[in-house]
Amino acid sequence: MSEKLIAPKSDKLILRALAGETLPTPPIWMMRQAGRYLPEYRATRAQAGDFLSLCYNSELAAEVTLQPIRRYGFDASILFADILLLPQALGADLWFVTGEGPRLSTTTTADQLAALNPFDAIHDHLAPVYETVRILSRELPRETTLIGFAGAPWTVATYMIAGRGTPDQGPAHALKAENRAVFEGLIDLLTASTIEYLSAQVQAGAEVIKIFDSWAGSLQGDDFEKYAIEPARKITAELKKRHPGLPIIAFPRGAGERYVDMHAKIGADCVAIDNGVTADFAATSVQPGGCVQGNMRPDLLVTGGQELIDEAQAITCAFAKGPYIFNLGHGITPDADPENVQIMIDAVRSA
């Protein structure tokens, strides 16, 4: 087999947008684009047996990552994995309950924190993830950017503390108030291990890194600065030190007006925004700081119709004067219609 040609950065639209270029047509990808809305994904997951087996089967994880690229020709592909693989590598028990989501053994005491693996001992467990990245870096079309990712420390900590997802992250807020030393020790461990995990993804072939802080919005006041901004800043700074020129996308979901100046505070090349702010607000107040990614409502991929076309084009036009990547404000949902995804892409590219 001949060696795959490596595309210059100018051939990869997402890298150009992340470098600050304003493009006539924005590059497009979707959060959770490899997922349950696609029949081919469901077939591959059935072949794997269960969700975690799919994550750790490098060949099948690469296959589901490639499926939406084959179907839609997105400008980026994001590694198929899960943010909770890292706490599992640190020593937490992890399993998934059908129809309910993840469950973990909890980390709420000093002894439980001390029992976790050190951050530099995670790589053997995560070796299949790195192999998935290597496969993708060989198999993706030369114009498609490969994005690696991890959950932000606060968001991952909320699951480790509660043992599951919660509507208000109450258990994590309670531990933060009642035992700040254990809480901050967990945040520090996750910050250090996330740096190692993401750096290994880059070494394996990831070209861009995205940090998902799905529950950042529940942090208020100084806590937002300490536990959402500061860990992301540390991770970004160290990754850029180790991998000069590495583009990083930050997604502090629910930040609202705090998205302003987020590029500078974190050091990220791009800030992904959710549906809690309008495209017009973000274009005026966030985009001057750098590339913006977002923020179409995922439910429009369920309902479709003219509203989908109008919204996709309105968002595209709102961000047309600066560097921009079209995406959703959150991940695509399992009940989305695959045909609506193509309608969305066509609407953006004809705006």
At 280, is the pLDDT very low, low, confident or very high (cuts 50, 70, 90)? Answer: very high
Among residues 41, 56, 130, 159, the one annotated as catalytic is: 159
Q: What is the pLDDT of residue 10?
A: 64
120 part of the active site: no
Q: What is the pLDDT of residue 100?
A: 87
In a domain, 4, yes or no: no
Task: Name the packing angle between helices 230-242 and 180-204 (round to 10°).
Answer: 30
Distance (Å, whole) CA 66 – CA 15: 19
Over the stretch 241-252, which tens digit does the pLDDT of each residue have? 999 999 999 999
Q: What is the pLDDT of residue 243?
A: 98
Q: What is the mean pLDDT of residues 167-182?
A: 98
Which ranges of 91-227 does DSSP label H, i.e. alpha helix?
Answer: 110-115, 123-139, 153-162, 170-178, 180-204, 222-224
Handedness of CA 163, 169, 174, 176 (dihedral sign): positive
**pLDDT tops 50 at residue 4:** no
242 part of the active site: no
Share of the chain above pLDDT 70, in %: 97
**pLDDT tops 70 at residue 342:** yes
In a domain, 125, yes or no: yes
Q: What is the overall mean pLDDT for the chain?
A: 96
Q: What is the mean pLDDT of residues 43-49?
A: 97
258 part of the active site: no
In a domain, 1, yes or no: no
Instruction: Fill in the amino acid letter for 332.
Output: I
**pLDDT tops 70 at residue 274:** yes
45 part of the active site: yes
In a domain, 100, yes or no: yes
Q: What is the pLDDT of residue 99?
A: 81
**pLDDT tops 60 at residue 234:** yes
SS3 (DSSP) at 92: coil
At 289, is the pLDDT very low, low, confident or very high (cuts 50, 70, 90)? Answer: very high
36 part of the active site: yes
Distance (Å, whole) CA 97 – CA 230: 33
Give the domain extent around 187: 9-349
Report how far Cα 259 is from the mean position of its chain's Cα atoms.
Answer: 17
| Residues paired with residue 324 on neighbouring β-strands, in sequence order | 292
Q: What's the number of domains the chain is made of?
A: 1
Over the stretch 192-233, which tens digit does the pLDDT of each residue have? 999 999 999 999 999 999 999 999 999 999 999 999 999 999
At 6, is the pLDDT very low, low, confident or very high (cuts 50, 70, 90)? Answer: very low
Over the stretch 17-29, which tens digit does the pLDDT of each residue have? 999 999 999 999 9
Among residues 11, 36, 134, 299, the one annotated as catalytic is: 36
Among residues 11, 42, 71, 82, the one annotated as catalytic is: 82
Q: What is the pLDDT of residue 11?
A: 84
Q: What is the pLDDT of residue 213?
A: 98
**pLDDT tops 50 at residue 305:** yes
Is the model more confident about 344 or about 11? 344
Distance (Å, whole) CA 309 – CA 344: 6
Look up the CATH number of the domain holding residue 263: 3.20.20.210
Q: What is the mean pLDDT of residues 270-287?
A: 98
Share of the chain above pLDDT 90, in %: 95
In a domain, 2, yes or no: no
In a domain, 67, yes or no: yes
**And the tokens for 228?**
């959402």
Contact indicator for 223, 169 with CB cutoff of 8 Å: no
Phi, psi dihedral angles at 52 (to 5 degrees): -65, -35
In a domain, 3, yes or no: no
Among residues 11, 42, 45, 349, the one annotated as catalytic is: 45
In a domain, 279, yes or no: yes
Q: What is the pLDDT of residue 45?
A: 96
Q: Which strands sit side by side in the sheet containing 291-296, from one edge to the other? A: 76-78, 145-151, 208-213, 248-252, 270-272, 291-296, 324-328
**pLDDT tops 80 at residue 317:** yes
Over the stretch 79-114, which tens digit does the pLDDT of each residue have? 999 999 999 999 999 999 888 899 999 999 999 999
Decide: pTM greater than 0.85. yes
Instruction: Fill in the amino acid letter for 171.
Output: P
